A and B are shown apart, each in its own frame.
Chain A
């Protein structure tokens, strides 16, 4: 059963903590993306990766970090430097940088 999975579905972070969001895909897609969505706003690109061991900053990369050690996995770390991390985080993948398919998302809340 192919698809994109994200975990956890809900995540709570205390001030000053780093947290890592998981994204896994078994679609054999080369490209993977992380977006942030705030209420009433469109998706904003955080980081993307076109190939294993390579990734680039998106429009709002400050306070975030990623790795791409395997084709299937693209975890996102929200660091303590991200001052307003409460949002809905979406991971996506695409096979040829055209149509993107999204995972179910992780809702992060800062306590």
Chain B
């Protein structure tokens, strides 16, 4: 069974710090990796996707993918209280559907 695992948290970081969110997946055939942000009571919002090994940067967000170790991470620089949310990792194998992790709750403390 395909699995995506995340630490449920909460992960607490002070304002201005770097938040590091991690995700591991079980299926080596996984090809596409996504990070969604979900505020309490709201629907998930896509913030990053990555397909190749290495880093991908978008503003304060950096996604890191290591297929050999089967993990993908999300770094949030200069964390703000507005970044407080649950972050969902999603993995997709080509031609198949997404598998979502349970999410990590991030709390950025002012």
Contacts and interface: CB of A to CB of B under 8 A. Distances in A.
Interface residues of chain B: helix, strand, loop or mixed (majority) = strand
A33 B97 CA distance: 10
Interface residues of A, number: 20
Nearest to B51: A98
Interface in B23-77: 32, 34, 36, 42-46, 49
A99 B33 CA distance: 9
Given A99-B49, A102-B44, A104-B43, A41 B102 contact: yes
A45 B85 CA distance: 22
Contacts of B98: 43, 45, 100
A55 interface: no
Interface string B90-102: 1010010110111
Interface of B: 4, 8, 32, 34, 36, 42-46, 49, 88, 90, 92, 95, 97-98, 100-103
